[in-house]
Amino acid sequence: MKLTLLFLIITVSTIFSQEKMMFGDTSRKGVPFSKDPHVINFNGKYLMYFSIPPFADKSNPIKGWNIGIAESEDLINWEKVGEINPDGEYESKGLCAPCALVKNNEIHLFYQTYGNGKNDAICHAVSKDGFTFKRDPTNPVFKPVGDWNCGRAIDAEVIQFENQFLLYFATRDPDYKIQIQGIASAPLNTNFNREDWKQLTDYPIMIPEYDWEGKCVEGASVIQRGEELFMFYAGSFNNAPQQIGVAKSSDGIHWQKISDKPFLPNGKPGEWNSSESGHPHIFLDKDGKTYLFFQGNNDHGKTWFISNVEVFWNEHGPFLKK
């Protein structure tokens, strides 16, 4: 019965993929379960890094959340080609929520430790092929300071803007109840080690404000359009439902939300993402087209798929075609 169910799940995923991306890694739990996508174009191929859950088999020596690697030629059909598993004591409970940046034909991966509560922090690793990564000897490379946050840093997003690299991260208030956003920077000649990161504010750059955001803004993904930056972010915690909003900024620090409603809401009852549309990644392809990758499910987190939708732009900012 279980084999039949798994076959049906894989078959349905394959049918969907002919029309739209519906990716779910079944290797850990026997059902599709993939979260936190980040996509790059590297050496003529698309690579996607994503979070995968602990093994259902508790006896497996690989523990905690890890990072999966998938490859595609068309942004629709994806094949899993590797994993990044814990390496070192600070990763022993898990790692996840990857962000990949190509610099000098190398992939710099930023990710978080997982399972350490307020001590979770941002780490860094580098790869020449996209599959094997060498850890930064100064890991973890960043965690916030100040009485406005709890000391935790997750959901790294690193971009180059003007004469620096900006690191966006999610943290929580000192009571560990409200998810908020912070920012740090490193110089252009950085190797991304711990000493190079400087926290830019002693206050959150974004907090939840609208009903649909609940007590959480997280998962920032930022793209530059002209002289402005646009941040796609997740509002509310998983399956609350989590939905995607957009904000804009001219300096990368001060942000204005462009609407009091979600840019990409969760689906209607019965749709594949009725429980949430969350953790966005905005991807700029070489042809200039942009695609919003996101996670979703319709069973309150028993499964997780990753999909994408093309994003269009006008003088007001991003929009979706119906």
CATH code of the domain in which 204 resides: 2.115.10.20
Q: Identify which of 159, 152, 158, 155 has the alpha carbon closest to the alpha carbon of residue 169.
A: 155
Which pLDDT value is given to residue 19? 74
Q: What number of residues does the chain have?
A: 322
133 belongs to a structural domain: yes
Q: What is the pLDDT of residues 105-133, one digit of tens each?
A: 999 999 999 999 999 999 999 999 999 99
78 belongs to a structural domain: no
Q: What is the pLDDT of residues 274-295, one digit of tens each?
A: 999 999 999 999 999 999 999 9
Average pLDDT over residues 22-49: 97
Which pLDDT value is given to residue 10? 38
DSSP string, 278-313: EEEEEEE-TTS-EEEEEEEESSTTSSBEEEEEEEEE
Which pLDDT value is given to residue 4? 36
Name the percent of the chain lying above pLDDT 70.
Answer: 94
Model confidence band, residue 164 (pLDDT cutoffs 50, 70, 90): very high
105 belongs to a structural domain: yes
Which pLDDT value is given to residue 15? 35
What global pTM score does this model have? 0.94
197 belongs to a structural domain: yes
Dihedral (Cα; 51, 159, 279, 78), 10-degree rounding = -50
Count of alpha carbons within 13 angstroms of residue 34, beta-carbon side: 27
pLDDT at 76 over 50: yes
269 belongs to a structural domain: yes
Name the percent of the chain lying above pLDDT 90.
Answer: 93
pLDDT at 315 over 70: yes
Q: What is the pLDDT of residues 235-272, one digit of tens each?
A: 999 999 999 999 999 999 999 999 999 999 999 999 99
pLDDT at 85 over 80: yes
pLDDT at 2 over 70: no
Compute how many other C-beta atoms are within 10 angstroms of the C-beta atom of residue 20: 11
28 belongs to a structural domain: no
pLDDT at 3 over 60: no
pLDDT at 172 over 90: yes
29 belongs to a structural domain: no
Phi-psi group of 56: left, alpha or beta (phi > 0 → left; psi -120 to 50 → alpha; rest → beta): alpha
Amino acid letter, residue 34: S
Per the structure block, which two tokens stand in for 232? 């796609």
74 belongs to a structural domain: no
The residue range of the domain holding 152 is 88-319
Q: What is the pLDDT of residues 227-244, one digit of tens each?
A: 999 999 999 999 999 999
Residue-averaged pLDDT of the chain: 94
Sheet holding 122-127, edge to edge: 95-103, 106-113, 122-127, 134-135
CA–CA distance from 104 to each of 36, 37, 125, 189, 191 (Å)? 25, 23, 14, 11, 11
Number of domains composing the chain: 1
DSSP string, 94-122: BEEEEEEEEETTEEEEEEEE-S-GGG--E
Model confidence band, residue 322 (pLDDT cutoffs 50, 70, 90): confident
